[in-house]
Chains A and B, each alone.
Chain A
Amino acid sequence: MKILVCISNVPDTTTKVKFVDELKKLDVNGIQWVINPWDELALTRALELKDDAANGIQSVTVAHVGLSTSEPTIRKALAIGADDAIRVNTESGDAYSVAAQLAEVLKNENFDIILCGIESSDHNGSTVGGMLAEFLRVPSVTCVSSLKFENGQPVVSREIDGGKEGLSLPVPFVAIVQKGIAKEPRIAAMRGIMSARTKPIKVYEPQAIDNLTEVVNYEMPKPRAACKYVDAENAGQLIDLLQNEARVF
């Protein structure tokens, strides 16, 4: 079995975002780019599954839509342990165009399990995985919190309201993963970093695909009112304020 993990490149989660060009563009000055946290967990899980020979995973590939400037992110994924990578050489547009570019490449490949993170921490779309599944016309499961093999077959569990559902489905499929899929992201070891330099990255030229959406501009959230303090000795007063001033219960 072959696993593919889609990775996106996002500003480090502690970044204080700023916008330029009349609030039309993200100010990329000084931004540290990282693998989207969910994708990093997806990759970690794929590698854990490959480590257990009984699962029969031949390879773990990562795929990314972006210009060569995002190659450090791909190299990082290779350093963590992916075997090889695919990059579609175009500036990543909206979710639809990213998914469409990936689908164009993947329809000629034969991956059994495709993993995507539940959302990217930049545009919080939660859309690329599902779109990719639809373009490829394969089943998908969303909000997957566990992926393992039982008797050589993949089984997933997904979060539903108030609990969990255990599911099985035939490959190929797309699993859109969230919390629980892996505990801690795997970190690149020295040996991984060395070997990442020589692992293959296949670069594909993009198709002509239009974005369906466009950001008109960004806005910063309105500042919140200053905090009103209640004395710890008199904590009960907080309940009065919440009840009579904020009127939240």
Chain B
Amino acid sequence: MAVLVFPENWDGKFKKLSFELVSYASKVADMLGDQAIVVSIGNVEAGELGKLATYGADKIISIENSALNALDDQAYAGMIAEVAQKVNASVVVLSNNNTGKALAPRLSVRLKAGIASGVGKLPVSTTPFVVNKKVYSGKAFANVEIKTPVRIITLAQNSFEVIESPKPVVIEKSDIQPDQGLMKIKVNDVQKLAGKILLTDADIVVSGGRGMRSPDNWGPLVEMAELLGAGTACSRPVSDEGWRPHDEHTGQTGKIIAPNLYFAIGISGAIQHLAGISSSKYIVAINTDKDAPIFEAAQYGIVGDASKVLPKLVEKLKEIKSK
């Protein structure tokens, strides 16, 4: 038996999210007394696979094929299912990100495996197999029993620490091939924004709401984000108004993020906004209204005008940087 984990690569490289996944799978494997086996799909740079061993992988099965560089839900799920059967996986771990959301449900059907998505912690128990997951967009948690012999978990991003536990690892090049008949998706064009920090990856996020008053006032917010190496986000009305790009919208109907630190600036803290950010470790609120609900969710707060407070924060950060 084994715990199988699928850490995707980004242009041939792994990143923190991949290491979180492998760390998690390795700990679940410890609980079950099984091996942690990685399946990697697509071409990766030399040395990248070895990195995964640092986080406790016992074995790495690599399926390399340049036809696999764009995600095809059906073909990818087919290959992972094949590996899962081959290694007799009792648990399959994926990320609860775009890729995991595309593949996990298909695997569930292929393997007739119950699924729990957006899990943030190690299983509560292994017999019965129970995991804890967020429900009602963070308003509650559920302990879910997965009743099938094979279980699928998608791990919430930034919820599990990267743990180094290096092991001697076996890297096996697999001869599994995608089922060409299933590859029906044709990629016509790709648009990528270079240099922008991906919100779901960011450790710190600086976010503005309608209280920023005008799209012209974002200068100090962006400057603060740059000083902190943070991502920038916004509330829904801000992106609806076109003050900020849509991919910055956080909340129930936007991105769901869990950074270590979230600045909510001129954001009232509506329940639908909190749904996207309530898993942040620390929330800082800056708002003119001392009764704004965001202060109930925040650990640090400043009651004040964003246009006056932000320059002060920027100044202080510059002072620290210059030291």
* Interface residue ranges, A against B (CB under 8 Å): 11, 13-17, 19, 37-38, 41, 94-96, 99, 118, 121-131, 133-135, 139-143, 145, 155, 158-170, 173, 176, 179-180, 183, 211-221, 224-225, 227-232, 235-236, 238-239, 241-243, 246, 248-249
A232 lies within 8 A of B309 (CB) = yes
- Name B150's closest neighbour in chain A (CB-CB): A212
A221 lies within 8 A of B299 (CB) = no
Q: List 18 A-B contacts (CB under 8 A).
A: A11-B136, A13-B137, A17-B139, A95-B115, A131-B109, A134-B105, A143-B101, A166-B187, A168-B186, A179-B255, A212-B146, A213-B116, A218-B142, A218-B143, A221-B138, A227-B301, A235-B302, A235-B316
Counting CB contacts under 8 A, is B191 at the interface?
yes
B261 lies within 8 A of A165 (CB) = no
A75 to B193, CA, bound (A): 42
Expressed in whole angstroms, the minimum distance between the Cβ of A206 and any Cβ of chain B is 18
* Interface residue ranges, B against A (CB under 8 Å): 10, 70-74, 77, 96-98, 101-106, 108-110, 112-118, 130, 132-148, 154, 182, 184-194, 196, 198, 203-204, 228, 240, 246-247, 249, 252-255, 260-261, 271-272, 275, 278, 281-282, 284-285, 295-305, 308-309, 312-313, 315-317, 319-320
Among B135, B137, B285, B304, max chain A CB count under 10 A is at B135
B204 lies within 8 A of A248 (CB) = yes
A127 lies within 8 A of B254 (CB) = no
Residues on B with C-beta less than 8 A from A135 are: 109
Residues on B with C-beta less than 8 A from A163 are: 190-193
A165 to B99, CA, bound (A): 13
A244 to B19, CA, bound (A): 27
> B228 contacts which of A17, A213, A231, A249 (Cβ < 8 Å)?
A249
Given A122-B136, A131-B109, A248-B261, 11 additional A-B pairs, CB 8 A? A14-B271, A41-B253, A96-B114, A123-B142, A127-B117, A133-B105, A134-B77, A163-B191, A213-B114, A227-B300, A246-B300
